[in-house]
Amino acid sequence: MRQLILDLLPADPPSFDNFVTGSNAEALTGLAAWLAPTNRESVFFVWGEAGAGKTHLLQACPAAYCDARLDPQLSALALAQDVYAVDHLEALVDGGQIVLFNLINRLRGGGGRLLAAADEPPSRLTLREDLRTRLGSGLVYRLHPLSDAEKLAALAEQARTRGLVLPPEAFSYLFSRAPRDMRNLAALLLAIDRYSLEHKRPITLPLLREVLQTSLNI
């Protein structure tokens, strides 16, 4: 499943409604409060391992989004916004760190906000000290990846919402053969739904095998 299914990714953009909370309810509640108009805290920082949902949340927010892995200098950061979301801070180079430091100072003075994400908390990032201090002075939450049981429950709920009837063994079959992050699992469920409708066939294990094989050949 190395290339799973760029053409079949979920059509819905990231939102708070389609974020699977799992054990991250506290972080979600904190983020909702931070986004409220009455909030005066300028920085909200989320960290956690790959697949925990950091990028989903940043892209779900009404903010100017920038991914430091793609733009480590933050050269494309729009500087006329009030709310920013900067992802993968661990990838920032020296120039990008200066841009972010200056941005935080400007937002503090003007009432703007920064939502930031990285794979480690501010204190453990390899960034300039004054930037780490700024990032750590705001609200800091860890995002935890979903357990396998939570992923199965979320996948079953998505199937129920779509009106899909899957054989009892379908989820364990998919889990043993597909990437286990929710983005790819949701994409795979969408592919199964489309394939079943296009071929006018019920969802069975043979059909699942065909969908997986098709995905491998994309």
pLDDT greater at residue 190 or residue 73: 73
Side chain identity at residue 16, one-letter code: F
**φ and ψ at residue 31, rounded to 5 degrees:** -65, -40
pLDDT band per the 50, 70, 90 thresholds, residue 140: very high
Helix axes 182-199, 148-162, angle to 10 degrees: 30
pLDDT greater at residue 191 or residue 129: 129
pLDDT of residue 214: 73
Least confident of 34-38, 54-58, 186-190: 186-190
pLDDT of residue 97: 98
Least confident of 25-29, 122-126, 212-216: 212-216
Helix (H) or strand (E) holding 46: strand 43-47
Query: CA geometry: angle at 174 spanning 168 and 179, to 5°?
Result: 150
What letter would DSSP give residue 140?
Answer: E
Helix axes 205-216, 182-199, angle to 10 degrees: 110
Query: What's the burial of 172, exposed, middle or buried (CB within 10 Å: 0-12/13-18/19+)?
Result: exposed
CA distance 93 to 96: 5
CA distance 124 to 88: 14
Mean pLDDT computed over every residue of the chain:
88
Say if CB 55 and CB 87 are below 8 A apart.
yes
Instruction: Compute the average pLDDT of residues 98-121.
Output: 95
**Is residue 78 scored above 50 in pLDDT?**
yes
Share of the chain above pLDDT 90, in %: 52
pLDDT band per the 50, 70, 90 thresholds, residue 11: low
CA distance from start to end of the chain: 10
Q: Which residues sit opposite 139 in a β-bridge?
A: 44
pLDDT greater at residue 103 or residue 174: 103
Side chain identity at residue 8, one-letter code: L
Q: For residue range 20-42, list pLDDT tens digits in order.
A: 899 999 999 999 999 999 998 99
